Amino acid sequence: MTASIEHVLDILDRAHTGRPATVKEWGFELSRVIAQKAKKYGLEKTCGRDNPVNWDDELADRFYQAGLELALEMGELCQDTERVIKITEEDLADAVKDAPAEAQLGKGRDRVVMRHRRPEDPLRPLSASPMGQMVREDLYVALHQGVAQHREIDILRNATPITMFGRQVLAGSPYETAVGRFQARLTSEALWRAGRPGMPVQGVVSSPTVFGQLGSFGLSGSFDPELHYAVILSPGELTTSFHVLHKVIHASNCGARTACGFPCTIGGFVGGPEGAAISYIADVHLQFALHQTDFWNAFICDARYLGNGGREAQWAQSVATQALTRNTHFLGIEVAGQLGGPCTEMLLYECAVSMINLSASGTSCYLGPRTSGTKYANHISPLECKFCAEVLKGAAGLTRRQANDLLNALIPKYEADLYKPHTGKGFDECYDLATLRPSEEWAGIYLKVKKELAGMGVPLALP
């Protein structure tokens, strides 16, 4: 599904004629309306630290209604015009009806089908890796080749090359226009080397403004709208911008599908875990209703430690995902915010927690991991990407109560370290770059944690 240009222009008209609100006013209003919805639906203080995975369907459905009402009542703020884009019930109903319930991605042997899932669904979700981490230019192809060589991983989502021909790239400058294509060429090389030329790619990651996408998507020899889809990220909760709308229009012009994302931050204007879940549900609907996305692409982050491995964020993610997967047929590409780095047990435990939770809550596709909080250059390796895919798919069909028990056993293994995470090693430190195999140390950690998970009841194939 590509966005209809008439629809996008209508949204743009609303962005120029809606009621005015500054970003600060919008934040306070959002906070107030979320609190009203939480009260109306009896959602206050429902977050259970002892139960990081929700299994109460009725509670998930109440969150859904609250989120739906929030989307209708608030709409979205356009950051550039500082006006509110309202949506109607009809907009929302059309968005829910028209959104795809499945999508074919890639081609040939690498073609995959993303399907809607529900909580506790035995259907195996898709896995997309790595994710946006900064990687040295000379390691870029090897890293992506290493990821793509694992067939458990269905979709490639690029890392960000730190430099382009040795030059620093500046957002919004002509360097950005050039780097999108640069990234597409390197990705293509990596997929060829891995023997997966038809693997779908989520691009353009290196596009803070619209220029990276303009310079690469839909151009000959670059990201192909038939195979790949465009990622478009909004700047704030229930907020859009001209850059976002530029990208939506450009993707529509190319005939490309899109994955629209947004931030959702516990501790920010949305409040605590309950408010974050309500806001998440609302924002997902707005991505479909306003940006006509094919997939939503987001996660709930805890501002206190800038990840989501903690109990409150896991719970909020579980209830929000379940609300959406129970009440819509939307396709979600959901992220997890790990803080540990490669070659640490912490990273694998964090990954396991999010994979089990997301899989049991009904996500269609996982995107990540965000190793070391995407903070440390080169701190991403293929092995944790493979591990995520294995656990995500292995956990399909677990009940939410089983998932909850597993999370309660796993979270204590790292929660004390969320504020001082183990950043681990870089790709070039924990991999043999000639053979693209992990070091003995890293392979040993991987096997140890995997055996431990299998022993706890996660269905995983062991060597």
Partner 1 sequence: MSKAELIGRLATAIADGDEETVKETARAVLAAGIDPLEAITQGAVKGLDIIGERYQRLEAFLPDLIRGGDAMKACLGVFLPHVKPEQMQSISSGTVVIGTVSGDIHDIGKNLVASMLSVTGFDVCDIGTDVPVKRFIEKAEEVKARVIAMSALLTYSANYQKQVIDYLKDRGLREKYYVVVGGAPVSPEWAADIGADGYARTAIGAGRLMKKLVGGGTAPPLPQPLVVEQ
CB of 429 to partner 1, least distance (A): 14
Nearer to partner 1, 48 or 272 (CB): 272
Q: What's the token pair of residue 428? A: 């070039």
* Tokens representing residue 365 in the block: 């596709």
Closest C-alpha to 417, from 351, 350, 371, 357: 350
Q: Which is nearer to partner 1, 308 or 327 (CB)?
A: 308
Choice between 168 and 220, CB closer to partner 1 = 168
Closest-CA residue to 300 (of 282, 292, 125)? 282
Closer residue to partner 1 (CB): 162 or 277: 162
Asked if 39 is part of the footprint of partner 1 (rule: CB under 8 A), the reply reads no
Using the rule CB under 8 A, which residue among 6, 122, 168, 220 binds partner 1? 168
Binding to partner 1 by residue 208, rule CB under 8 A? yes
Taking CB under 8 A as the binding criterion, the range among 70-78, 123-131, 206-214, 252-260 that sits at the site for partner 1 is: 206-214
Residues 381-440 that bind partner 1 (CB under 8 A): 419-420
Give me the long-range contacts of 401-405 (CB less than 8 A, separation at least 24). 401/53, 401/55, 402/360, 402/457, 403/53, 403/356, 403/357, 403/359, 403/360, 403/361, 404/51, 404/52, 404/53, 404/55
Tell me whether residue 97 or residue 420 sits nearer to partner 1 (CB atom). 420
Q: With CB under 8 A, what is the number of residues at the site for partner 1?
A: 50
Question: What residues numbered 45-84 form the site for partner 1, per CB under 8 A?
Answer: 79
Query: Is position 179 an interface residue for partner 1 (rule: CB under 8 A)?
Result: yes
Out of 20, 108, 172, 457, the only residue in the binding site for partner 1 (CB under 8 A) is 172
H or E element, residue 284? helix 273-290
Work out whether the CA dihedral 235, 240, 246, 251 comes out positive or negative: positive
Stretch that binds partner 1, among 8-16, 145-153, 168-176, 248-256 (CB under 8 A): 168-176
Two structure tokens written together for 78: 């356009």
The pair of three-digit structure tokens given for residue 371, joined into one six-digit string: 């190793």
- Binders of partner 1 among residues 124 to 143 (CB under 8 A) are 132, 134
Q: Nearer Cβ to partner 1, position 265 or 359? A: 265
> Is 305 a binder of partner 1 (CB under 8 A)?
yes
Packing angle, helices 174-194 and 140-148, rounded to 10: 40
**For residues 416 and 461, which CB has a smaller minimum distance to partner 1 in the complex?**
416
Q: Which two tokens stand for residue 152?
A: 């458990």
